[in-house]
């Protein structure tokens, strides 16, 4: 379950929400069974709350929506990808991220 400022992204809404976003978009690829994903979730939620209006943030469950992770060659979770103008601009793999790193990935 995502926080109030974290969008639920899936294979069906990915293009409209992420690729066509006017703002930078930070997408957290995760899974419910993933311990490191659970550790990263509060960091992503705090980041989303702090940067409302500057960057959009979403979470995608790799098991529920396997097409997008396959398209972006996601090999491990958590993986966070920053998108700008519909293109991947940065990527971080692992739970060792903080708000500053997420801001750097998003280019803000």
For the annotated catalytic residues, the residue numbers are 34, 37
Taken as a whole, the chain contains a residue count of: 108
The Cα–Cα gap between 2 and 5 comes to 8
**CB atoms inside a 10 Å sphere around CB 97:** 20
CA atoms within a 13 Å half-sphere pointing along the CA-CB vector of 21: 25
DSSP conformational letter for 23: S
Q: Two tokens at 102?
A: 């997420």
């Amino acid at each position: 379950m995502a926080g109030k400022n974290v969008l639920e992204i899936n294979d069906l809404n990915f293009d409209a929400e992420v690729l066509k976003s006017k703002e930078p978009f930070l997408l957290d690829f995760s899974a419910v069974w993933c311990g490191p994903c659970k550790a990263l979730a509060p960091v992503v939620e705090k980041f989303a709350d702090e940067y409302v209006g500057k960057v959009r943030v979403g979470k995608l469950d790799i098991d529920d929506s396997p097409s997008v992770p396959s398209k972006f060659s996601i090999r491990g979770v958590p993986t966070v990808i920053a998108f700008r103008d519909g293109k991947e601009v940065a990527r971080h793999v692992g739970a060792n991220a903080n708000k500053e790193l997420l801001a750097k990935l998003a280019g803000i």
